[in-house]
Amino acid sequence: MEQKKLRWGYTTGTCGAAAAKAAASFWLTGKIAETVSLALPQGGSLEVPVTAWQQEPGWFAVKKDGGDDPDVTDGAWICAGVEPVSLEEMERLKKDGKGYFLEEYPGLYLTGGEGVGRVTRPGLSCPEGHYAINPGPRQMILSEVFQVLAESGWDGNALIRIQIPEGQALAGRTFNPKLGIIGGISVLGTTGLVKPMSEEALLETIRLEIHMEAAAGRFVLLMVPGNYGEAFMQKQRKVDTGQAVVCSNFVQQAVACAAEEQISELLFAAHIGKLVKVAAGVGNTHSKYGDGRMEQMAELTAVTMAEKGLPENGLPERIRGCNTTEEALGLLKEAGLARDVLRLAARRARFYMEQWGGGKVSVQVMTFSAAYDILGETEGAEAMLQRWRRQKGLGEAAL
């Protein structure tokens, strides 16, 4: 069967540019556009449908279309208005405003409004305190509006404002709160189009989060694959949810990124169901890249028994026949081996992760069972956690 070709969408930046261009055209000509043509940053053009925004006279809006890889912003309205401002107001905005001014587009100032997030931490491509409108969208929006104004002969000053009415509600379903972006979502995009491949977007978010830790001078990194790891750190180590970098399935790539950002120490906390794959040298723990968890659990069990001088009793084969790692740990707990197997898994995972970091990142590992409340960790994990806490300004914790 022929695979269906995935449909591309367009970014929030493209939506903002289209809405702003339509608003500028209406302001100068009084014409209500139904579509506008945009020049894409990497060449070519795109026709985008626009609509008059009833809540704000003279404003226009575009309904975000994520294509076949929609994110939480799919279907959200991106709105824009354009209005004249005095020279004095323009100078004030350039000095004290929270938006953007580019020399190549004189007389134009771009800012945000309702539902557009504000940056509160260093390390992003937007200055602290400013609206989260990334460089690509800034260029695109200002360029499109400048073209309309130039064609009409307008030589005054104008203010462009972007609003996303649902932005604040949507922000809680994005990575923005973790990145220190408050009050709404970001206006994003580099190519103007959304490629239907969510892995790329997720990886870029992970890279950005690690970069921000490094930019803040924090070189001890706490990393978890997802909710289980966060819940464990919150319950057992009193680490608030959201303080760890979430790497999802991309363990190898996240470690490599940490090395690139000159992170010197990395503490990885993961449920045994994920960790056992890393212990087998699997860099991406998604099931589509294979499973092998039970085979690895059986092998860890056999090695642990051999190290302890225990006789062969069929336990590794029983482990191999389990459906889940938690079921396997139940058998290991009965045999008094659960903690030893978890410790061995943690040491093996550390070996591979330090390899993935090119020897530049010192790694410690914590792994756990949610069902049996059993912890296995490498020798220096607790000390690294305390260093991470001091770096975060959290002080020592009673562990």
Same domain, 166 and 202: no
pLDDT of residue 3: 41
Same domain, 27 and 169: yes
Higher local confidence (pLDDT), 248 or 175: 248
**Domain boundary at 143, 178, 194, which?**
194
Same domain, 302 and 207: yes
**Domain boundary at 164, 194, 224, which?**
194
Pair of tokens at residue 227: 């909710």
pLDDT of residue 53: 94
Mean pLDDT of 302-312: 94
Q: For residue 380, count other CB atoms closer than 10 A to its CB.
A: 16
pLDDT of residue 1: 32
Confidence grade of residue 192 (pLDDT, cut at 50, 70, 90): confident
pLDDT of residue 363: 98
Q: Does residue 122 form part of some domain? A: yes
Mean pLDDT of 86-96: 97
Mean pLDDT of 355-379: 94
* pTM of the shown model: 0.71
- Report how far residue 233's alpha carbon sits from residue 382's, in angstroms, rounded to the nearest whole number: 12
Same domain, 306 and 252: yes
Same domain, 269 and 385: yes
- Report how far residue 62's alpha carbon sits from residue 43's, in angstroms, rounded to the nearest whole number: 21
Instruction: Provide the mean pLDDT of the chain.
Output: 92
Q: Does residue 397 form part of some domain? A: no
Q: Does residue 399 form part of some domain? A: no
Mean pLDDT of 234-260: 92
Domain that holds residue 112: 9-194
Cα–Cα–Cα angle for 191, 197, 199, rounded to 5 degrees: 110
Same domain, 69 and 111: yes
At 380, phi and psi to the nearest 5? -100, 15
Same domain, 247 and 180: no
Number of domains, the chain? 2
**Domain boundary at 175, 194, 213, which?**
194
Mean pLDDT of 129-158: 95
Same domain, 101 and 73: yes
Same domain, 40 and 178: yes
Same domain, 129 and 220: no
